[in-house]
Amino acid sequence: MKIQDAYLIVTSPGRNFVTLKIVTESGIHGIGDATLNGREMAVVAYLEEHVIPALIGRDASRIEDIWHYLYRGAYWRRGPVTMSAISAVDVALWDIKAKAAGMPLYQLLGGKSRERVMTYAHCTGKDIDACLEEVDKHVKLGYRAVRVQAGVPGIPTIYGVAKREGERYEPADSAIPAEHVWSTEKYLNHVPKLFAAVRERFGDDLHVLHDVHHRLTPIEAARLGKEVEPYHLFWLEDCVPAENQESFRLIRQHTTTPLAVGEVFNSIHDYRELLENQWIDYIRTPLSHGGGITHVRRIADLAALYHVRTGFHGPTDLSPVCLGAAIHFDTWVPNFGIQEHMPHEEITEQVFHHDYRFEDGHFLVGETPGHGVDIDEELAKKYPYKRASLPVNRLEDGTLWHW
Ligand SMILES: O=C(O)C(=O)C[C@H](O)[C@H](O)CO
Ligand SMILES: [Mg+2]
């Protein structure tokens, strides 16, 4: 099954997406998500200049060998650009293999470990009351789990909170990075009040999550984890920047709040100390940034040794191709925890058609051979790429702060 052609489709139906399509001589094609939010064109250049020319003529069924060819063979290993490019190739090849076998992808991975995949929604509001209304709306839509982020008094704009009520937030919202102001003190004083209010109104059964977006120091994260303990969070996400994995030792010593990490990781090596020391509870690396199915399943297997479960990243800046493949992975992986779900816009769904379904707070995997997502290339052409950047963050005195 030789690779005859491979090319990229860069489109912006609602936001930017980069999709790799691989076509084999037998006529079967597969697609993979190569979107790296705010750095899309770096992955495009990597794939077009360095990867695609070397793929033509290779046997598409040799997924493992192609993975190592692109990873070890490049000499320059790892990093988000390289690993996003490898991910797109890998997921497209698994799509092809499953189509050639006439099977939905989850069957190739080992079959179903569960009937449905629990997912969490984003609930945001300018203040606690607005946030509670969003939680109410999502509970009525059937969600069993919600990520709750509220505006903080005294901080004008908070990343992850929608600009207008009832809207979703867009992670990359301006051509040049917008500058936000951050105050750790105000944030830390406010968050426990938010979770007290959520538990008081919605009781104990709802799974509640929170994302800190890497903004605290280890001792501040320890304080937050400890203070929200009475509200039994499902997880506290990215509470510190994770380059220094030792930070988690300190956090772990102080709190029983479960910790989720890894949406910016792209390799098993990023996790080694965190897992071996049992400092975290959930891994977040999506299939589109962590080297695809071939590599992320190795991370999941390593995590399983330490009772750590999956909780894949699933914002709007990962395309439906990534989400579709993730739902197959989630349906199979023994140590599944939860799947993030930030619904895509209507026009995104028109460009990327898929057979996964949302029902009653869960995703249901489709039975179409492959990962069940395809792209309407003609429609995609109507939405040209627009440069868009994630914001940056400064402290009140102007110091550039962690993202
Ligand atoms: O979905 C999340 O948990 C995020 O943190 C969203 C990220 O900020 C976003 O994907 C960055 O591109
Ligand atoms: Mg996050």
Helical spans, DSSP H, in 281-376: 292-305, 320-332, 346-351
The pLDDT assigned to 392 comes to: 94
Give me the chain's average pLDDT, please.
Answer: 97
Atom of ligand 1 nearest to the CA of 147: 3
- Distance, CA 213 to ligand 2 centroid (Å)? 6
Burial of 41 (0-12, 13-18, 19+ CB in 10 A): middle
pLDDT at 45: 98
For 162-181, what is the mean pLDDT?
84
Return the pLDDT at 123.
96
Which ligand is closest in space to the CA of residue 168? 1
pLDDT of residue 149: 96
Place of tokens 């076509």: 23
Structure confidence at residue 79 as a pLDDT band (50, 70, 90): very high
Residue type, 307: H
Q: Could you report the per-residue pLDDT of 43-70, keeping only the tens digit for each? A: 999 999 999 999 999 999 999 999 999 9
pLDDT, residue 87, reads 99
> Is 80 exceeded by the pLDDT of residue 168?
no
Which residue type sits at 62?
A: R
Whether the per-residue pLDDT at 165 is higher than 80: the answer is: no
Q: One-letter amino acid identity for 47?
A: L
Using a 6 Å cutoff on CB, does residue 281 contact ligand 1? no
pTM of the model: 0.97
Q: How far away, in angstroms, is 85 Cα from ligand 1 center?
A: 19
- pLDDT on residue 106: 98
- The pLDDT score that the predictor gives to residue 170 is 83
Residues with active-site annotation: 159, 213
Ligand number, closest to the Cα atom of 340: 1
- The answer, yes or no, to whether any atom of ligand 1 lies below 6 A from the CB of 40, is no
Minimum CA distance residue for ligand 1 atom 9: 171
Q: What is the pLDDT of residues 341-372, one digit of tens each?
A: 999 999 999 999 999 999 999 999 999 999 99
Exposure b/e, 201-222, CB count within 10 A at least 16 = b = ebeeebbbbbbbbbbbbbebbb
Expressed in angstroms and rounded, the spacing between residue 238 Cα and the centre of ligand 2 is: 7
Does any ligand 1 atom lie closer than 6 A to the CB of residue 374?
Answer: no
pLDDT over 70, % of the chain? 100
389, 175 in Cβ contact below 8 A? yes
Quote the ligand 1 centre to 315 CA distance (angstroms): 6
Written as six digits, the tokens of 313 are 């990243």
Q: What is the pLDDT of residues 208-261, one digit of tens each?
A: 999 999 999 999 999 999 999 999 999 999 999 999 999 999 999 999 999 999
